[in-house]
Amino acid sequence: MNGIPIALENLHSRSLSSSFASNAITVAVAQICLKAGCNGARTSVLHALADIAGRYIQALARSAAEAANARGRTNSNLLDITRAIEDLCSNSGFRFASDPMRPLLKSAVLKEIAAFVRSADEIPFARPMRRKEAEKVRVLMSFAQVGKEPPLRQVPRWLPCFPELWEKGKRKALVDSGLEGFGSDPVQNPDPKRRLVVVNRELPVVRARVKFRIGLGKDTRKSKK
Amino acid sequence: MNSSAAGGDGKHDDESALAEFLSSLMDYTPTIPDELVEHYLARSGFQCPDLRLTRLVAVASQKFITDVASDALQHCKARLSAPVKDKSKQPKEKRLILTMDDLSKALREHGVNVKHQEYFADNPSTGMDPSTREEN
C-alpha cells in the first residue's frame, strides 16, 4: 500500500483467486462509483479498484491488530483503528500529522470520517448478505462424567466417550475380515482351538515377480565358488 | 482555574461528539456490508466484538474508495474536455467511462502505484538484440 507497485497481471488473475468476497466487493465498489458520478467503468478498472478496496481493509485490520498485540491485547479498540487509519492516510496527509503528541481520540481522520458520514447519502448493498451461522459445538462427555469404563485398557477415563455405534461397527468389521479374535492376548485369552484363518486374497492385476539382492550389489555366490 | 474548567468542558465536548459519532454509525448503513468487512477483518487477525468499530472500518474504506473514484472522475472529465486535433476521433457521446489511466493517476496521489504493462511478450528474450540474446 505504501508505494508498492501492483503489477496488473496479478490483478488479472481473477480466474484463480475469484471468490464470493471478491465478487461482492466488486459490486460494492461499482455502487460507490455510480454514486460518485461515473456513467460506467472498464471491467479491469472495477476489478482493480475492488482488489485495492479488499487490500485496504486488510491493511487496516492488520495494522490495528499489530498495534493491539504490541500493547499486550488480543482485541483491538478505537485507538488501534485510529492509529491504523492515520498510518494509511500518511501518504496524502491529515491535519496535525506533524504533532507527535496529538491526542488520538481528537484525530483529524476521525473528524473527516464523521463529516463524510453526515454528508454522504447511504448506499446500501445491492442484496442482503446471508451471515454464516455459528457452528454448533457438540460437547462430548468423558467416560468419567458418564460413569462408564472405557472398552479398551489403554484409553484413559478423561477422554470423551466413543460413539454409540463404535462397538457394533468394530465387531462387524472384524467378522467381515475374518480376523475376529486376532490380536487378543493369548496369555489372558487362551484359545487352543483357535486357527489362523487364511483369507484368500487375490491381487486384482497380474504383476511381475520382484527380485532383489542384499549386499551392495555384489554377487557373493561367485566369490564362494 | 477558569482555563482548566474551560479545558475540561472542551474535553467533555470532544468525548460526547466522539460518542455521538460512534452511536450514529449504528444508524448508518455502509455500502460494504458488515459480513464482508468481518470476513476481511478475520483474515487479517483482527478481533473486536464491537460492531461499531467494524462499521468504522467499513466507512473508512468507503470514504477511501469514494475519494479515489472522485479523483478518477476528475481525470476522466479533464481527458474528455481536452481539445482533440482529429475531429473524427472525437467521441460522439461524452459519457464518463473510467479507464485505467484515470484510475492510475488517481491512485498515485494516494500512494498506490498501479503500473500498466507496456507490452506483452511470449518469452523473456523477445525484443532483445541478437548479440545479447546469444550471450544469454
How close B39 gets to chain A, by Cα (Å)?
Answer: 8
User: Cβ B65–A32 below 8 Å, yes or no?
Assistant: yes
User: Cβ B112–A1 below 8 Å, yes or no?
Assistant: yes
How close A185 gets to chain B, by Cα (Å)?
Answer: 52
User: Cβ A45–B111 below 8 Å, yes or no?
Assistant: no
CB atoms within 10 A of CB A16: 6
Q: What is the DSSP letter of A151?
A: S
SS3 A83: helix
User: Cβ B46–A3 below 8 Å, yes or no?
Assistant: no
Cβ atoms B107, B97 nearer than 8 A: no
Please list every residue in chain A whose beta carbon sits closer than 8 Å to the beta carbon of residue B43. 58, 61
SS3 A108: helix
Across chain B, where does the E strand assignment appear? 97-98, 113-115
ipTM of the complex: 0.80
Among B31, B48, B63, the residue with its CB nearest the CB of A123 is B31
In the prediction, which pLDDT does A7 show?
A: 40
Mean of per-residue pLDDT scores for chain A = 77
Count of pairs with CB atoms under 8 A, one residue in A, one in B: 192
Residue with cell 481536452: B82
In the prediction, which pLDDT does A8 show?
A: 41
Please list every residue in chain A whose beta carbon sits closer than 8 Å to the beta carbon of residue B102. 45
In the prediction, which pLDDT does A95 show?
A: 82
Please list every residue in chain B whose beta carbon sits closer than 8 Å to the beta carbon of residue A29. 65
- Hey, is the C-beta of B27 within 8 angstroms of any chain A C-beta? no
Domain positions in chain B: 31-133
Q: Which of A16-30, A71-85, B81-95 has the lowest mean pLDDT?
A: B81-95
- Hey, is the C-beta of B85 within 8 angstroms of any chain A C-beta? no
- Hey, is the C-beta of B109 within 8 angstroms of any chain A C-beta? yes
User: Cβ A124–B111 below 8 Å, yes or no?
Assistant: no
Please list every residue in chain B whose beta carbon sits closer than 8 Å to the beta carbon of residue A93. none
Across B2-83, where does the E strand assignment appear? none
Higher-scoring residue by pLDDT: B34, B122: B34
Sign of CA dihedral A218, A220, A221, A222: positive
**Rounded to the nearest 5°, which phi and psi values hold at B27?**
-90, -15
Residue A81 has pLDDT above 60, yes or no: yes
Cβ atoms A94, A112 nearer than 8 A: yes
Residue with cell 459480513: B35
- Hey, is the C-beta of B101 within 8 angstroms of any chain A C-beta? no
How close A139 gets to chain B, by Cα (Å)?
Answer: 24
Question: Which residues are A5's β-sheet partners?
Answer: B113
Residue A125 has pLDDT above 80, yes or no: yes
Each residue of B20-48: pLDDT tens digit? 888 888 888 899 999 999 999 999 999 99
Q: Nearest chain B Cα to A123, which residue?
A: B31
User: Cβ A129–B33 below 8 Å, yes or no?
Assistant: yes
Among B22, B40, B59, the residue with its CB nearest the CB of A116 is B59
Q: Nearest chain A Cα to B94, which residue?
A: A39
In the prediction, which pLDDT does B88 show?
A: 62
> Where residue A151 falls among pLDDT bands split at 50, 70, 90?
confident
Long-range contacts of B117-121, Cβ-Cβ distance < 8 Å, separation of 24 or more: B117/A7, B117/A8, B117/A9
Question: Which residues are A41's β-sheet partners?
Answer: B98
A147-185 in b/e burial notation, b at 16+ Cβ within 10 A? eeebeeeeeeeeeebbeeeeeeeeeeeeeeeeeeeeeee
User: Cβ B45–A61 below 8 Å, yes or no?
Assistant: yes
Residue A161's nearest CA partner among A140, A185, A192, A187 is A140
The fold for domain B31-133 equals Histone, subunit A (1.10.20)
Residue A18 has pLDDT above 70, yes or no: no
* Residue B119 to residue B96: CA distance in whole angstroms: 26
Residue A169 has pLDDT above 90, yes or no: no
